[in-house]
Structure 1
């Protein structure tokens, strides 16, 4: 049981308060609202969230099937992914983005907004980081985007940029994205710039957000407000060290396993933060997930046979994925029981009230 008895009452009182200040919200929000009006009232918001993630997973799976080891290479003109696949991926990402904007509107429309819905929505968003990053790297080739641990993307501008890149790759081929624009830079060069600077801008942006919250008279002390940053910073340091100093160059041998490890750590930190916010609790300074991956990173960098590093990567990744799935499923079931709501179904009496 992950939720303690003292955390049940705050969970019942929790109400999500979020404001979307994105420029794209003024353009896409009316489109999402009109689209939701065409949906049946019996369609549960959590089902929409799950369906959106399924589309994202479909695009990722198609690319992974044709290019499991990121083998695209401009020099040898090897492009393992057919161009029609990139068009299909663009459609899948657009559908994911559209449905992801509809689930919250459907929840408010049917009066079924709940912390469980927020867990579904943001939980799937966290996992989409793995899918989008892996697909982007397949678009440019591993040899062009080396030493990448993670690539944070803005929800609106990032996904719209991805859709545009996939469309260009679908119509003109992936190598077109590596050609210089007006003789100065390429999309690949811009992506490299993002990889170098976005982690730092994200960190300082988070610090600034925490500082602004502390100025609004928050009851939590300033030091406690910075505690949630400890786990991602520690994980970033150890995983980056593993990627750069790997004895067997693990990113080249098993890139998808390493991306899965970084993603499950990031997702576990994010979802744990969301759950603690819902139950009005303080996050632990260091997540056990971060401790496990840090110890695995240290062990992998010790002198031993090359195969031992690969075994370590696959073992720790498998364990953390299973532990994360157990965590989210258990918390989701507990929330469903505590709040007295169904996960994928809207009760008939609620439909009649709407």
Structure 2
């Protein structure tokens, strides 16, 4: 019963939680040379194009809209994630621009608030998984384990940064990070795909370069090298750095590092369930080319997970270990693997699995949207602000 009560409390916020917003202080460290010595001047120039009456959160939402447009374009033109078809680096670049300009607009108009951080990171959590669909199409990966691997790496990297911020109070972006170099690299890949075609990335290295270095198998493809690079960046650099920073924070604040590490159970459960579902021989997600729907569904689920962590960080609540949106993911993994582990007849057919996944997507969207609106309204009521509009008095004083 006590566990159930904690679960309900983690889904909602009370007046006592909101009082902690008075102690809010945004903290971020970005060590990227590209961001600090090049793109900073571009963002300072770009913010001048936005009228002062435009709310920072509205800029954030418009930026997320470009990601949605890219995803819809992929669904319409490149639903097989192979192509050929149009690729849209402009949409990704505009998303990145808007994502970096919103904070400058907030400082420019004097409207910085805890809601801005929550709204910004919530949109980022959605875009990182949705953007994986666009990247898969740009690289011509198809509905394959390659596409799933890129999705998982992107999501794990984002989760680790969010977990790290919860414990350290600082959003740390290293010398080479996803929001800057990652987005820039993805844009370059899209441009090359638009010129050369996505088939380039699936060509064997012996057909692309001569000679092939001895330590690389000649039958590998360019996409293998890209995947290894991303894997190394996340697993060998990003994850250890996040764990180390949390360890230091726990040591300095005399908190249990073991409890902090146990909070990684959430992303482990999410990842294992997703892998078991799509890898089961009795799953039709990859066979019937439903990976886009699967990605959008688990993307919404991850958006809820990551946003709840930021919410807990802002309101000083206990770390959220669960969300109800994980339940259908767990059930999907179980249903598709019962025949495999118990030598039983398949439970889900191709059609029933598709409808289950479709219902899961609908449930996730409705549940996430209702919860997000609830949280936004609570913040706006407590802070006496409007989410998507700057009050006239603020604009006038500015």
TM-score, normalization by structure 1: 0.88
The SS at the match of 1:285 is: coil
Shift of 1:10: 0.2
Aligned residues between the structures: 341
Q: 1:135-284 counterparts in 2 under 5 A?
A: 135-139=134-138, 140-142=140-142, 145=146, 147-148=148-149, 150-152=152-154, 154-179=178-203, 180=205, 181-183=208-210, 184=212, 186-194=221-229, 196-197=231-232, 200-201=235-236, 202-215=238-251, 217-218=252-253, 220-253=255-288, 254-284=290-320
Q: 1:1-354 counterparts in 2 under 5 A?
A: 2-26=12-36, 27-70=38-81, 72=82, 79-81=83-85, 85-86=86-87, 89-139=88-138, 140-142=140-142, 145=146, 147-148=148-149, 150-152=152-154, 154-179=178-203, 180=205, 181-183=208-210, 184=212, 186-194=221-229, 196-197=231-232, 200-201=235-236, 202-215=238-251, 217-218=252-253, 220-253=255-288, 254-302=290-338, 303-306=346-349, 307-354=351-398
Shift of 1:147: 4.9
* RMSD, matched Cα: 2.3
Question: For the residues of structure 2 that align with 1:174 and 1:43, how far apart are their CA atoms?
Answer: 38
Contact 1:11 1:278 in 2 (8 A): yes
For structure 2, list consecutive stretches of 5 or more residues without a partner in the other structure. 1-10, 158-177, 213-219, 339-345
Change (3 A) 1:341 1:246: farther
Question: For the residues of structure 2 that align with 1:229 and 1:285, how far apart are their CA atoms?
Answer: 8
Change (3 A) 1:37 1:248: closer
Shift of 1:60: 2.0
Residue matched to 2:217: none
The SS at the match of 1:19 is: strand
TM-score, normalization by structure 2: 0.79
Change (3 A) 1:213 1:38: same
Shift of 1:126: 0.8
Question: For the residues of structure 1 that align with 2:332 and 2:200, how far apart are their CA atoms?
Answer: 39
